[in-house]
Amino acid sequence: MNKEVRKIWHDFNNHMSCIDMLLQMGNIEKARAYIKNMNASCQTTYMGIKTGNEMADVVINQKFMLAKAQNIDLIVSGGLDEELNINQMDLCALLCNSLDNAIEACRQIEDKEKRKKKSKLIFKNA
C-alpha cells in the first residue's frame, strides 16, 4: 500500500510539473485540457466533508478516501475560515502531514475495528 501511495504521489508531482510548465509557457488552454483529462481519469472523487475552506476540503477528502481504503474511519469535525492568515501551500502541507501521520499510526493497529482517527479543525484568523 505504501508503495502504491508513493507511486500516486510521484505521478501527481509529475502532473503538477507538466501543468506548471504549460502555464509558464502561457499555454493556458493546454493546461486546462490537461487538468480536465486528469479529473476525468479520477474514478472516485469524494467531497462530502466541508470545512468552510476549499483547500482544506480537497486535502481532507483525499485523505478520507485514502483512510477508507485502509479500513480506517477518519472522522472530521469543526470548521475553518475560507480566508486564513496562512499560505495555502503551508495549510496543505500541515494538513497532509498531520493526516498522513494519523493514518500511518492507525495502520499500525492490528484490530481493524479499532482503526479510527478523530480530527477537530479550528483555525481562526487572529
Q: How far apart are CA 68 and CA 4, in angstroms?
A: 15
Per-position pLDDT tens, the chain of length 126 = 455 556 667 777 788 888 999 999 999 999 998 888 776 655 456 778 888 888 888 888 888 888 887 788 888 777 787 788 888 888 888 888 888 888 888 888 888 777 775 665 555 444
CA distances 65 to 17, 29, 43, 99, Å, are 24, 30, 12, 12
Helix axis angle, 2-24 to 28-41, nearest 10°: 160
Residues 40-77: b if buried by 16+ CB within 10 A, e if exposed: eeeeeeeeebebebebbbebbbbbbebbeeeebebebe
Cell reading at 30: 493546454
